[in-house]
Structure 1
């Protein structure tokens, strides 16, 4: 597994499709934002171990949304570590396996991209992650005490319950899939509601952000808020 430092206390874990982020918390313990594809729990634990974290040090697993390339290894990690799992309220039933995940509404140009991504990574269609208990359902404005405040931002559009996490004191934003940085900085693709996705992009661009960590594509370290606002201001 590719482990890439982002800034102090944050590392990116990259999978064949997508990525997760490991955070060493300011007070004690560790957190994960997303868990990658199914079947990677042991590799994630090994990655955390290489960073100095024992399984019992993992405190929180925050899922930005219910798609299987973000929730795939959550159940295995929760069982192995005892960490609590947190997800947006509207996506929590899908994470738990109590409701089917809606398929994205693909624009014409997205259909071959969607198929190519799955073919490249040898991902099955249709697909699903193992059901995972959700301990905490998150809503807009909720905060997590990680030794510094981590604020939940509801960013629907990609899925109904998509969330971002904003750490104001560090200037860090975890966008999930509402924003991507693949070849260019752009709103995410494969969305249920394109207009809501664009509104969610604009909302995140208004935040005070220096470092942005995306579900797909390299993080932006330094000036991330200005980069997001530049995209918002581009002519349609």
Structure 2
């Protein structure tokens, strides 16, 4: 098992880095530099919890500190679930697996990027967007190699050690991207299927100005699939959502924003030009 990503530029830390927010009693959003991780499990009721995504490279110590603050010492998760394998979502996964010795689950189509077999397409600096898009070729696109520590999610849609949750295939940003949904309370962990901050704009990333937007433009390669994924998630009528980037969102702000994105995805999310734009 090894981290095969090259030593490339890592984006600057956002102003909310290191902060956590209890979205629900058993859903905690922790911001690691520019990306959100989710701790799923109520520390007041159970010893079992699950980590969703693993943040930025070289951030393992910060994540371990956040886990200890939330759950106490030596409280490792039962499993790690990955929404997808981009560098900002798997940055600490190799170190965390070595620290905790727990299995990792991801969609079957994402496994080549998690076992060192395939790299993602190069980020698209030509895409319409702000400064972050222009510097995106400096971001790592190489896979990590988790070897036998990673396995595909159950085909029945269940999520190991997350009773009541189900995974939903939401491709477009990556081939095997997933989101997680709980029918009981309509809670959604969306990954990068959509985000609540425009991720290609450095100003909006730093200031965390909230707006429902499509997946990060410079790393999204299938816009038709991305639109269908947003429609699929909007149809679930989530009441609260944690996305890969930006602050958690709920209520009318979420429902109206997501409905608008699903309806006007071509205008709001799809760039006017870019390498992966049809």
SS of the equivalent of 2:67 reads: helix
* DSSP 3-state at the match of 1:98: coil
1:149 pairs, out of 161, 164, 167, with: 164
Closer/same/farther in 2, CA of residues 173 and 125 from structure 1, 3 Å limit: closer
Residues 126 and 233 (structure 1 numbering): CA distance in 2 closer, same or farther, change over 3 Å? closer
Question: Which residue of the partner structure matches residue 17 of structure 1?
Answer: 34
Aligned residues between the structures: 231
Which among 171, 192, 205 is matched to residue 177 of structure 1?
Answer: 192
Judge conservation of contact 1:140–1:153 (CA < 8 Å) in 2: no
Number of the residue aligned with 1:115: 134
What TM-score, normalized by structure 1, do the two folds share?
A: 0.86
Aligned residue number for residue 240 of structure 2: 211
Flag the 1:145–1:132 CA change in 2: closer, same or farther, 3 A: closer
CA 1:62–1:126 in 2, change beyond 3 Å: closer, same or farther? closer
SS of the equivalent of 2:189 reads: strand
Supply the RMSD in Å over aligned alpha carbons.
2.5
Q: In the TM superposition, what whole-angstrom CA distance separates every residue of 1:129-152 from its partner, at most 9, and x where no partner exists?
A: 643244321266520254632111
Task: Give the strand-richer structure, 1 or 2.
Answer: 1
Tell me the equivalent position of 2:213. 186
Tell me, which stretches of 5 or more residues in structure 2 are unaligned? 1-17, 198-209, 268-278
Per-residue displacement from partner, 1:58-102 (whole Å, max 9, x unpaired)?
Answer: 112111111000011111111111221011111111112121122
Structure 1: distance between partners of 2:155 and 2:179 = 9
1:56 Cα shift? 4.6
Residue 57 of structure 1: aligned partner? 76
Rounded Cα–Cα distance in structure 2 between residues aligned with 1:100 and 1:174: 25
Counterpart Cα distance in 2 of 1:91 and 1:111: 28
SS at match of 1:5: strand
Q: Who wins on radius of gyration, i.e. which is larger?
A: 2
Please tell me whether the aligned partners of residues 47 and 75 of structure 2 are also in contact (alpha carbons under 8 angstroms): no
